[in-house]
Amino acid sequence: MFSGFLTAPPELDFGERVVSTVATQSLRHLFTSSESVDVSIHCNPANKLLQGQVDNVQMHGSGLVIRKDFWVEEMTFETSAVALDMVSVLTGKFKLNQPTHAIARVILTEAGINRAFASPLVQQHLRRVDAPELLALSGGEPVSFTDVVVKLLPDNRVRINAQAHLPNGIIPIRLEATVAIERRRRILFQNPQFNNDTVPQSQQATAKVLTLAFAQVLDGMVDLDRFDLDGVSLKLNRLETHGDRLIFSGYAEVDHFPKVG
């Protein structure tokens, strides 16, 4: 049950080391896979831990995969005070006596975002889209979007290339937009613009309409429900693009930790 326990940081109190080990094992079960998940427990004075009182819990994870298809480069959080069920801890489980909150930071890479767009869960939202503005262009037939490639730009801008499949052919999508947060849960693609640099003149009118409609499709599907973990709900305060990374900061509502089998 306590594999890796002897490698826990030596400066931690014995009780903190035990709880940190159990918490690490519990959190690893949140992810389909992970390169690393490290948890540290802080309690001062140390004897508070006997009553299950912890000052905070810090987690850092990297190379995380959520729900098989969503790749997270890095995730960190630090909770407020935590009340633990110490009986559960001694049996190798990490159980909260009451919910807590945490400051959270999530980093996605450009490569990870593109892998997510290629996943079956996202693809099902991009196939046979029947929005009215699309049906008017396709003779009443649903339109499918494929080959989505996202490029992160400075100042929270993104460039997205894709292909729109109409009954009479394929039209290129060339979108630039600003990513923003709505209601702390959804990602919006604001001020969408059509970039016609690489689109044949004969297709530009149709491509422009499809591109702006595609931005509306994205607005309706990119939300944090797809990134919530078991017992952990994320709320966003801020996002920013930095090189090939999209960085979110906010807080997490932690209701419970998953059970260790």
What confidence score (pLDDT) does residue 226 get?
Answer: 61
- Quick: pLDDT tens for 145-193: 999 999 999 999 999 999 999 988 999 999 999 999 988 888 899 999 9
What confidence score (pLDDT) does residue 133 get?
Answer: 79
Prediction pTM value: 0.85
Mean pLDDT (whole number) for 255-260: 63
What confidence score (pLDDT) does residue 247 get?
Answer: 96
* Residue range 114-219, CATH number: 3.10.450
- Quick: pLDDT tens for 214-226: 999 998 777 766 6
Per-residue pLDDT band at 2 (split at 50, 70, 90): very low
Mean pLDDT (whole number) for 138-151: 92
Angle at 113 between CA 107 and CA 114, to 5 degrees: 155
- Quick: pLDDT tens for 47-82: 888 888 999 989 999 999 988 888 999 999 899 999
Neighbours of 81 (CB within 10 A): 14
Cβ(229)–Cβ(246) under 8 Å?
no
What confidence score (pLDDT) does residue 171 get?
Answer: 94
